[in-house]
Amino acid sequence: MSRHNVNDEYLEGLEKKSIAIIREAKAQFSNPAALWSTGKDSTATLWLCKKAFFGKVPFPIIHIDTGRKFPEIYEFRNRLAREWDFHLIIARNEEAMKKGVSAEKDRFECCTLLKTQALKNLLEKEKFDALILAIRRDEHGIRAKERYYSPRDEDFKWNYEDQPAEMWDLYVKPSEDFSHMRVHPILHWTELNVWQYTKREKLPVNPLYFANNGKRYRSLGCQPCTVPITSNAQTIDEIVKELETSRIPERAGRAQDKEKAYMMQKLRSLGYM
Amino acid sequence: MTFPKINLVVIGHKDHGKSTLIGRLLYDSNAISEQKLQEVEAELKKAGDEGFRFAFLLDTLEEERRGRLTIDIMQTPFRTEKHLYTIIDCPGHREFMKKMFTGASQADAALLVVSAKEGIQDQTKQHAFLVRTLGIQQLIIAVNKMDEANYEEVRFKEICNDLVPILSSLGYRNPPIVPLSALKGENVFKKTRKMPWYRGSSLIETLDRTVRPLAPPIDKPLRACVQDVYEIDGKKIVVCKILTGILEEGEVVNFDPSGQAGLVMKIEMFGKEIEKAGSGDSVGLIVNELREAKRGQVISHPQNRAKVVRSFVSDIVLFSGFQLRNNDVLVIRCGTAENECKVQGILERIDPINLTLDAKSPEVLNSGDVGRILFSPLKPMCVEKYSEFPELGRFVVEGKSGTAAAGIVLETETAEVN
């Protein structure tokens, strides 16, 4: 994929739009929350939330913990929650974990139960009416179909065939017809933009992204299902350089994207991120 | 170096080759990853299909690949010598209008695809009319499938002769028209040898030369919308989006329609000290002597106040499932404001396919219709002409389940301001 150099003005333009989208969610919804995986995209989005609200994020930040995350993710999560002073909620599907649900047995079921169901359980308890997520269009074909504001019904289903119209920046309002709204403030950012922004803002980066023994992770999923890439990139600049010449997509190491055709689509239609 | 970004919406009748053309543009400009290409090829082999190769690159959804119909829009970027284009593929099938409007609302320019074989069809005209109604001013035409017309000049000229008067009546004078074949890759990126009679440039060269990114309106008078009011450390911060113009600390501004004035003491941005903000910025304001700021208000300078209107005329497009009658009261969202407005009169109904005036002063507009309406807000409301301040001259109508219609303001009648 051909890349281009961006300057500050370009990144600021991306940021302005995202901040306006986040503020709009706070204005229109009474009980919003944001999802955070500790990955580069959701960390950048969390930072955008801090900026949008002048330092203090006024709603909870949710980490969906499958229990199978890399230890570096847990360390990073706990540290940043302290430093950035936000209200962290950890969502876990304890029941499924006890039953021994695992990717080795059935990946689709594992994602659905440990991630999607954990989120569903939390939403039922807390009644959040909007969820801010850090997905981007260029991550995956299915996500490219998304809107900035995308409603989910009672069953968390994504009705991609009949999405409401999204006209200009007059985003879909809350309605009894849906259970919650998914808000995607960095939908228009590319993978490269996220790194450029991370560097510019000096955001903390999960060490898994940097090379260790000739390998690094380009995308952070759960430990059993995420495969590292061969790389020696140890700084953001080196990662950026690597991305500029690569034609391998970002999520190439994520098993859920591959397995059966359209698995990601099916997962998403059932309420996945 | 920054490449100017252009949002390009691709429109046209079903099966005239929109997706194939986009697929070709992405493929030839190396915007598609190796993995994606392989995926598509594997799928095609399974399906035993060689034909729709490029369109499949975009049709990610299972239903789309099976049905070969583009169901939803997808924003996919590619780069040329001059610009970074984000292409919004628009479904051409009658039922998918909502998705088309969504795509068109994000576009700076429209690329209309017409099949050389079939010629101008219903949605060819309808889409051109709709993008015009939604305010898109830049239009380029691609006459596709020239391979199926033997690359003949006669056929191309026929289509041009049919198209030009239609587009001219919509206000698109002298739009560039490019003959090409998306499937064969002729005249898309490089000038073709198959049409020696054609004196113009390839599609990419034409796009680069004629389409301009919309200029940021710094030179216009100030207009900003209040998005929210936060209370932080005991201070009230008025959070707003600056749409046009520039705002500086120390300036007096008005908040309409309430008519209040206030002094901007400070402009706040997290982590940055700034003294002025311009169009595109989302900032917080600390304003002195302001009785009440609230979401929906429009901020402007006293010497060029935002218009508080008594009535306004607009062109409006109805989405499916929505009907509009004289005297209906509708909820209209414009900027960050939301107001009840009465349908004072349905001035015209326009048939979007034949582009003829269907009826003068009809009683009803039905789903899918385009009409001209006179609205009067039940309470004071700020609205501007789309031609002067686009963000305050466009609106949606809130129906029972979301957006029911969208429109552009043509004329306004100002109310008395206190």
B270 neighbourhood in chain A, CB within 8 Å? 50-55
Cβ-defined contact of A167 to B284 (cutoff 8 Å): no
- Measured in angstroms, the CA of B380 and the nearest CA of chain A are apart by 20
pLDDT confidence band for B69 (50 / 70 / 90): very low
Q: Residues 6 or more apart from A183 whose CB is under 8 A from it?
A: A21, A22, A25, A32, A130, A131, A132, A133, A148, A149, A150
**Residue B36 and residue A249: Cβ atoms within 8 Å?**
yes
Q: Is the pLDDT of residue A255 over 70?
A: no
B8 Cβ partners below 8 Å, 6+ apart? B85, B86, B87, B88, B107, B108, B109, B110, B111, B207, B211
Name which residue leads in pLDDT, B351 or B203. B203
pLDDT in the model for residue A10? 84
Given an 8 Å threshold on Cβ–Cβ distance, is B319 in contact with A261?
no
Is the pLDDT score of B242 beyond 80?
yes
pLDDT of A2 reads 35
CB contact under 8 A, B61 and A53: no
pTM, whole model, 2 decimals? 0.84
Contacts A248 to B, Cβ<8 Å: 33-35
Residue B45 confidence (pLDDT): 61
Amino acid identity of residue B313, one-letter, is: V
The share of chain B scoring above pLDDT 90, in percent, equals 50
Q: Is the CB of B403 less than 8 angstroms away from the CB of A172?
A: yes
The verdict on a CB contact (< 8 Å) between B3 and A24 is no
Residue by residue, what is the 3-state secondary structure of B223-287?
EEEEEEEEEECCEEEEEEEEEECEEECCCEEEEECCCEEEEEEEEEECCEEECEEECCCEEEEEE
The reported pLDDT for the residue numbered B369 is 85
Q: Which of A106-120, A170-184, B220-234 has the highest mean pLDDT?
A: B220-234
Would the pLDDT of A40 be above 80? yes
Mutate to test the interface with B, among A51, A53, A166 (most CBs of B within 10 A): A166
CB of B286 less than 8 A from some CB of A? no
Model confidence at B86: pLDDT above 70: yes
Average pLDDT of chain B, as a whole number: 85
In this predicted structure, the answer to whether residue B256 has a pLDDT above a threshold of 90 is yes
Residues of B numbered 52-81 whose beta carbons fall under 8 angstroms of chain A's beta carbons: which are they? 60-63, 71-79
Q: Where are the domains of chain A?
A: 8-190+260-269, 205-256
Instruction: Indicate which of B19, B240, B282 best probes the interface with A, i.e. most A CBs within 10 Å of its own CB.
Output: B282
CB-closest option in A19, A24, A164 to B402: A164
**Chain A residue with minimal CA distance to B97?**
A165
| Nearest-CA distance A10 → chain B (Å) | 7
Residue A223: the pLDDT is 82
Instruction: Give the DSSP letter of residue A226.
Output: B
Q: Which of B148, B142, B145 is nearest to B160 (CA)?
A: B142
Nearest C-alpha of chain B: how many angstroms from A59? Answer: 13
Say which range, A10-24, B157-171, B313-327, B356-370, has the weakest mean pLDDT: B356-370
Closest CA to B360 of B344, B372, B368, B352: B372
Q: Which chain B residues are within 8 Å of A145, Cβ to Cβ?
A: 60-61, 72-74
Q: pLDDT class for B240, splitting at 50, 70, 90? A: very high
Is A165 in Cβ contact with B30 (below 8 Å)?
Answer: no
The reported pLDDT for the residue numbered A78 is 94
| Nearest residue of chain B to residue A249 (CA atoms) | B33
In the numeric block, which tokens belong to residue B147? Answer: 């391979």
Burial B320-343 (b: 16+ CB within 10 A, else e): eebebebeeebebbbbbbbbebbb
Check A165 against B227: CB less than 8 A apart: no
* φ, ψ of residue B46 in degrees (nearest 5): -60, -45
Tell me which residue has tokens 């039953």: A99
Looking at per-residue confidence, does B117 or A143 come out higher? B117
User: Which residues of B fall within a CB distance of 8 Å from A169?
Assistant: 391
Instruction: Report the gap between the CA of B307 and the closest CA in chain A (Å).
Output: 20
Lowest mean pLDDT among A162-166, B6-10, B111-115: A162-166
Q: What are the chain A neighbours of B40 within 8 Å (beta carbons)?
A: none
**pLDDT higher than threshold 70 for residue A177:** yes
Q: What percent of chain A has pLDDT over 70?
A: 85
CB–CB of A1 and B33 under 8 A? yes
Is A179's pLDDT higher than 70? yes
Q: Which residues of A touch B282 (CB under 8 A)?
A: 16, 19-20, 23, 52
Closest to B2 (Cβ–Cβ): which among A1, A10, A54?
Answer: A10
pLDDT given for residue B221 in this prediction: 95
Work out the mean pLDDT of chain A and round it to a whole number: 86
Residues of B in contact with A257 (CB under 8 A): none
**Are the C-beta atoms of residues A210 and A233 closer than 8 Å to each other?**
yes
In order, the DSSP letters of B277-319 are: EETT-EEEEEEET-S---TT-EEEBTTBPPPEEEEEEEEEEEP
pLDDT, position A4: 47
H or E, element range at A236: helix A236-245
pLDDT digits 0-9 by tens, B352-410: 777 677 777 888 998 888 899 999 999 999 999 998 898 999 999 998 878 899 999 99
Using the Cα atoms of residue B309, residue B315, residue B320 and residue B321 in order, give the sign of their dihedral.
positive
Residue range B135-149, pLDDT digits in tens: 888 999 999 999 999
Domains and CATH numbers, chain B: 5-210 (3.40.50.300), 223-300 (2.40.30.10), 308-414 (2.40.30.10)
pLDDT at position B71: 43
CB contact under 8 A, B101 and A24: no
- Choose among B62, B271, B333: nearest Cβ to A170: B333
Which residue, A79, A36, A78, A74, is CA-closest to A57? A36
Q: Which of A6, A54, A148 has the most B C-beta neighbours within 10 Å, making it the best mutation to test the interface with B?
A: A54
Interchain pair B3, A4: CB under 8 A: yes
* Interchain CB distance below 8 Å, B71 and A175: no
Asked if the Cβ–Cβ distance from A247 to B33 is below 8 Å, we say yes
Return the residue of A nearest to B241 by Cα.
Answer: A20
Count interface pairs A-B at CB distance under 8 A.
Answer: 144
Which one is predicted more confidently, B51 or A138? Answer: A138
Q: What is the pLDDT of residue A144?
A: 63
| Cα nearest neighbour of A163 on chain B | B99
Beta strands, E only, A39-148: 61-64, 88-91, 130-132
B197 to chain A, closest Cα gap in Å: 34
User: A51: which chain B residues are within 8 Å (Cβ-Cβ)?
Assistant: 269-271
Question: Is residue A143 scored above 70 in pLDDT?
Answer: no
Q: Is B284 on the interface with A (CB under 8 A)?
A: yes
Cis peptide before B362 (omega within 30 of 0): no
Overall fold of domain A8-190+260-269: Rossmann fold (3.40.50)
Q: Does B44 touch chain A (CB under 8 A)?
A: no
A197's tokens: 């922004």
> What distance in Å separates residue A210's CA from the closest CA in chain B?
23
Task: Quote the ipTM score.
Answer: 0.86
Chain B partners within 8 Å of A142 (Cβ)? 60-61
| B-chain residue closest to A13, CA distance | B280
* Partner residue opposite A137 with nearest CB, options B35, B75, B105: B75
